[in-house]
Structure 1
């Protein structure tokens, strides 16, 4: 069973118990959060696709940690023009553990 949700302009496919690396969220570590922008929920017996979101569905998650990704280097260079520019960037992230997926006040993992 899995779900697809949207956070930070990106879409993520998740299962219960999975740890997902999202763009930086402004919540403290250890706090529980709820995602409401659910695009798809799938179980072995059915698939529900939203248009654009599934009403009454939510994903409960717990914030594990915040951090910065590995540094990427951006280099711009024009030969024979005496132009060279070097720049670096480290993207902020939040690690989130998916606790539960609910659909219309039903618990999908139990199939009720």
Structure 2
């Protein structure tokens, strides 16, 4: 089972047990949160697509950590103008561990895969 969720203006394909990095969320590390912007849910034989979201479906995730991404160098250069500009940027992120998708937990998904 997997779902497509939206967080921070970006879309992510998630399944129970996945670890993803999303734009920084104001939730302390160790807390659990429900992501309700679920755009698609698929369980193998049935796929539900929302318009824009699937009603009544949530994805539960646990906040593992907060951090900052790698530095991105921005360098602007105009030839023959003696004009150079350099800057850098590090984006804040929140690392999430997906625990449940539409009521199916990571442990139940692993048990079904081994059976």
TM-score (norm 1): 0.91
**2:84 aligns to what SS in structure 1?**
strand
In the aligned structure 2, how far is the partner of 1:41 from the partner of 1:2? Answer: 6
In the aligned structure 2, how far is the partner of 1:25 from the partner of 1:86? Answer: 29
Could you tell me which runs of 5 or more consecutive residues in structure 2 were left unpaired when the two chains were aligned. Answer: 109-115
- Alpha-carbon deviation of 1:101? 1.1
CA RMSD of aligned residues (A): 1.4
CA deviation map 1:11-65 (0-9, x unaligned): 1000100000101001100000000010000011210000111110000000000
2:42 is equivalent to residue 5 of structure 1: no
In terms of fraction of residues, the more strand-rich structure is: 1
- Alpha-carbon deviation of 1:75? 0.4
In terms of fraction of residues, the more helix-rich structure is: 2
In the aligned structure 2, how far is the partner of 1:87 from the partner of 1:38? Answer: 36
